[in-house]
């Protein structure tokens, strides 16, 4: 059996905020690998550094030290590699939020299509892909509804559709089930599992929600900035 190549590879990653007396070490010497098709849980108490780690893996902020590669592309190597983080996020990463963060002025279909249009696709192609995704996530009947008209579960499905729009290799989910009841949380986790399996994507889920812990292939624990 051929060993799988990691999709995301972090080595010796450290991140601090502030300097001198106000310095806070959010992450210290974190090394980890994330592989395609796996659903990984990132756990830890508040202030442990898991959000910082999510931001670094999501190419939102840069670490102070260490090395990181995403889908074979070097993102950081001690100092900024000059990679276009915005483009990396657009092309390779999908984000799912605790409160879905759908744009209130767009309907469900356009909330999905906007990612594709930002990536340069035509409006018609973007809408076609959005319709496919909404259908895939069984929420196509709400394509023209605005976020305020969606239930929590529906909104989260649309948010997942948006995260999948650009065929991302990595999906980062920040407390995706925190606002949902057990049944809906289970449905969302099933969907993420389906995406990971069918699209060979890596799903990294930050969560405090114990009821979904059994859905992860493995769990990473962060405490005081250190990966346990």
Partner 1 sequence: MNLALRDIRHKLGRFLLTCLGLSLLLGVVLSMIGIYRGLVDDALSLVRAPAADLWVVEAGTRGPFAEASRMPGDTREMVARIPGVAEAGSVTYQTVETHYGGQTLRLQVVGYEPGRMGGPAAIAEGRAIAIRHGEVVADIRAGMALGDRIHLGRDDYLVVGLTRHHVSTGGDPVLFLSLRDAQDLQFLPKPATYRRDQARGAPPPALDTINAVVARLGAGISPEEVSREIGRWKHLGTNTQAQQEAILVQSVVEKARRQIGLFTVILMTVSTVVIALIIYTMTMDKMRDIATLKLIGASDRTIVGLILQQALAMGLIGFGFGWVLVNLVADRFPRRVLLMPEDAVMLAGTVVLVCVLASSLGVRLALRIEPAAALGG
Q: How far is CA 103 from the centre of its chain?
A: 17
> Which position has the token pair 């994507």?
201
Q: Which of 5, 24, 74, 103 binds partner 1 (CB under 8 A)?
A: 103
Least Cβ distance, residue 105 to partner 1 (angstroms):
3
Q: Which of 9, 39, 50, 75 binds partner 1 (CB under 8 A)?
A: 50
Least Cβ distance, residue 46 to partner 1 (angstroms):
7
Contact at 8 Å (CB) between 137 and 113?
Answer: no
The interface mask with partner 1, positions 105-144, x = CB under 8 A, is xx---x--xxx-xxx---x---------------------
Other CB atoms within a 10 A radius of the CB of residue 74 amount to 13
Taking the least distance from each CB to partner 1, the nearer of 37 and 145 is: 145
* Binding status of residue 167 toward partner 1 by CB under 8 A: no
Least Cβ distance, residue 2 to partner 1 (angstroms):
32
**What are φ and ψ of residue 69, in 5° steps?**
-130, 145
Taking the least distance from each CB to partner 1, the nearer of 55 and 108 is: 55
Q: Which of 11, 101, 140, 199 binds partner 1 (CB under 8 A)?
A: 101
Spatial distance between the Cα atoms of 138 and 190, rounded to a whole number of angstroms: 13
β-sheet bridge partners, residue 43: 221
* Binding status of residue 98 toward partner 1 by CB under 8 A: yes
Least Cβ distance, residue 211 to partner 1 (angstroms):
19
Least Cβ distance, residue 69 to partner 1 (angstroms):
20
- Taking CA atoms, 16 is separated from 20, 51, 53, 193, in Å, by 11, 13, 11, 33
Taking the least distance from each CB to partner 1, the nearer of 4 and 87 is: 87
Question: Which structure tokens are listed for 139?
Answer: 């929420």
Question: Which structure tokens are listed for 142?
Answer: 């709400």
Edge-to-edge strand ranges of the sheet holding 93-96: 93-96, 170-174, 202-206, 39-43, 218-223, 226-227
Contact at 8 Å (CB) between 108 and 139?
Answer: yes
Closest CA to 189 of 154, 219, 157: 157
DSSP element (H, E) containing 185: helix 182-199
* Binding status of residue 51 toward partner 1 by CB under 8 A: yes
- For partner 1, the binding residues (CB under 8 A) are 46, 50-51, 54-55, 58, 60-61, 86-87, 89-91, 95, 97-98, 101, 103-106, 110, 113-115, 117-119, 123, 146, 162, 174-175
């Amino acid at each position: 059996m051929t060993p799988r190549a990691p999709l995301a590879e972090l080595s010796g990653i450290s991140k601090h905020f502030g300097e001198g007396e106000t310095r806070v070490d959010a992450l210290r010497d974190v090394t980890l690998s994330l592989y395609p098709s796996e659903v990984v849980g990132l756990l830890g108490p508040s202030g442990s550094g898991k959000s910082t780690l999510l931001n670094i893996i999501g190419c939102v902020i840069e670490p102070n030290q260490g090395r990181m590669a995403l889908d074979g592309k070097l993102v950081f190597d001690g100092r900024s590699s000059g990679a276009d983080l915005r483009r990396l996020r657009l092309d390779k990463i999908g984000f799912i939020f605790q409160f879905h963060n759908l744009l209130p002025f767009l309907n469900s279909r356009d909330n999905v299509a906007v990612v594709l249009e930002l990536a340069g696709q035509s409006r018609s192609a973007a809408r076609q892909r959005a319709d496919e995704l909404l259908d895939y996530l069984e929420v196509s009947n709400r394509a023209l509804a605005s976020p305020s008209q969606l239930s929590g579960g529906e909104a989260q499905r649309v948010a997942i559709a948006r995260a999948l729009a650009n065929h991302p290799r990595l999906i980062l989910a920040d407390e995706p089930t925190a606002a949902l009841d057990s049944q809906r949380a289970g449905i969302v986790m099933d969907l993420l599992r389906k995406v990971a399996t069918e699209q060979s994507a890596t799903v990294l889920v930050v969560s405090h929600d114990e009821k979904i812990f059994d859905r992860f292939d493995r769990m990473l624990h962060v405490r005081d900035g250190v990966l346990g």
